[in-house]
Amino acid sequence: SNLNINDVLGNYSLTLVDALDTLAIMGNSSEFQKAVKLVINTVSFDKDSTVQVFEATIRVLGSLLSAHRIITDSKQPFGDMTIKDYDNELLHMAHDLAVRLLPAFENTKTGIPYPRVNLKTGVPPDSNNETCTAGAGSLLVEFGMLSRLLGDSTFEWVARRAVKALWSLRSSGTGLLGNVVNIQTGHWVGKQSGLGAGLDSFYEYLLKSYILFGEKEDLDMFNAAYHSIQSYLRRGREACNEGEGDPPLYVNVDMFSGRLMNTWMDSLQAFFPGLQVLIGDVEDAICLHAFYYAIWKRYGALPERYNWQLQAPDVFFYPLRPELVESTYLLYQATKNPFYLHVGMDILQSLEKYTKVKCGYATLHHVIDKSKEDRMESFFLSETCKYLYLLFDEENPVHKSGTRYMFTTEGHVVSVDRHLREAPWKEFFPDERGHAAGSSLRRPAAPDLKVINSSSNCNRVPDERRYSLPLKSVYMRQIDQMVGLI
Ligand code: DMJ
């Protein structure tokens, strides 16, 4: 009866595992080393637990791989995070977990995985054939990393096949995908297309897979998806900081007709400005971020769903989600406008005021009466705290180092390096169609990261605007009015 409770826990010390690289980013080597040893010595996946494939992948597999790479990094930018006698244990654990997740990709007619597996026995006999697009189609970063670290194509292949299967089911008219699909028939059960729950990380991972692995096909899919998003989901005036009309908003539409399906936006969608920063669409990011910040100011938190027509929440809980902080951090990196430091302060102060409890931070059950639940999601430590910390830590190695870092959808830091752009199995399967070595999946000769990661994109906000509001005050007021703040 509580929509906020889902079965992600797995009985495998989720919070401890999910928080590992946060300790490294905070430069706390003794706690990092202690936590890694605890994980190695006490966590086992040989459990009769049924887990969500997506959650286990992004929270556990992703964290193990990130920590493994921090430990084995010859440069040790975060301080001494090495572990005495480390024998790739975290990588082996990641492998063990991934193998236990593989049954989800078997006996599915489309290649789109089952949403849940039992870590001991595989897909439960009474399994649901329906899955959400984000859950099934955002496994490629972690599975691809694992494959490339092990030199075993299996994991990347199943994850890539799932992305391609979903992609092939997009509407031929709008290019949009729905939010729930039947993995046997390929029929869309949920025809809602939007940027929030059910689809969010699908888009994110098309771009991030390209950043990490340099496969041009991922960028092509991302660009096509972004084009459809701009054509069918975006409403309001054309430019964020110019002209007349409503502020730009991204709405939920029917994937086939493009018609509006409802008038709510969910708090998950607040990640999107951060993704727009990565592709250099900073101006548009500023507007959507400002809208979410206005909602935050009104409630001191983000309600899970906010109805922009009724100017009121539709769903009231706030489980300490990171998305607004994540976008704030990335917008600050792109613009260096101190406005975003103030946003961060504001968020930090409300977290302290409304969610802090004796042994941690609590989910808000209701953003208006501020009642709490006895629950702190693991992403609070892996994402919300990490992004807040990084926002204020100008000197952090993530910002200073020559290595370029990227964050997984769960906020795990991974360095973007040449090693992950090598897929050794390609030598053995140079032409196999549909396999990771298939012709359409081949890497471009010289991966052109400039498209995404160049400083010129980040400099698009002119210097003279750096110390003024990122959004003209007239537009800020317009948003504040729409959210009922004034
Ligand atoms: C996280 O687990 C990830 O960011 C995921 O992609 C979406 N939701 C939560 C945080 O809100």
Taking only Cα atoms into account, the Rg of the chain, rounded to an integer number of angstroms, comes to 21
Q: Whose Cα sits closest to atom 8 in ligand 1?
A: 268
CA dihedral of residues 432, 434, 439, 443 (deg, nearest 10): -110
pLDDT band, very low/low/confident/very high, at 437 (cuts 50, 70, 90): very low
- Provide the pLDDT confidence category of residue 1 given band limits of 50, 70 and 90: low
Is the torsion defined by CA of 273, 277, 281, 287 positive or negative? positive
How much is the mean pLDDT over the chain? 92
Pick from 329, 353, 352, 350: nearest CA to 341: 329
Give pLDDT, residue 469: 87
Q: Which atom of ligand 1 is nearest to the CA of 138?
A: 6
pLDDT band for 4, please (50, 70, 90 cuts): low
Classify residue 425 by its DSSP letter. Answer: G
Q: pTM of the full predicted structure?
A: 0.93
Given pLDDT bands bounded at 50, 70 and 90, which one contains residue 419? confident
Read off the pLDDT of residues 5-14 as tens digits, 9 standing for 90 and up. 666 688 899 9
Centre of ligand 1 to C-alpha 133, Å, is: 14
Reported as a single tens digit per residue, the pLDDT across 384-414 is 999 999 999 999 999 987 778 999 999 999 9
Annotated binding site for Ca(2+): 409
What pLDDT is attached to residue 402? 74
CA 391, CA 330: separation in Å to the nearest integer?
Answer: 8
pLDDT of residue 464: 64
- Please state the length of the chain: 486
Classify 224 as helix, strand or coil.
helix
Name which residue sits closest to atom 1 of ligand 1, judged by CA. Answer: 410
In percent, the amount of the chain with pLDDT more than 70 equals: 91
Q: Which of 292, 323, 317, 291 is nearest to 303 (CA)?
A: 317
Distance 19 CA to ligand 1 centre (A): 14
The pair of structure tokens assigned to 176 is 């949009």
Q: Give the closest residue to 336 by CA, choosing from 391, 404, 411.
A: 391
| Ligand 1 centroid, distance to 409 Cα (angstroms) | 6
**pLDDT, tens digit, 9 for 90 and up, residues 322-368:** 999 999 999 999 999 999 999 999 999 999 999 999 999 999 999 99
pLDDT of residue 428: 76
> pLDDT tens for residues 137-183?
999 999 999 999 999 999 999 999 999 999 999 999 999 999 999 99
Cα angle at 150 between 149 and 154, to 5 degrees? Answer: 110
Q: Report the phi/psi class of residue 451: left, alpha or beta, with left for phi > 0 and alpha for psi in -120 to 50.
A: alpha
Token couple for 106: 């078997």
Catalytic residues: 55, 200, 304, 323
Report whether 166 contacts 177 (CB < 8 A). yes
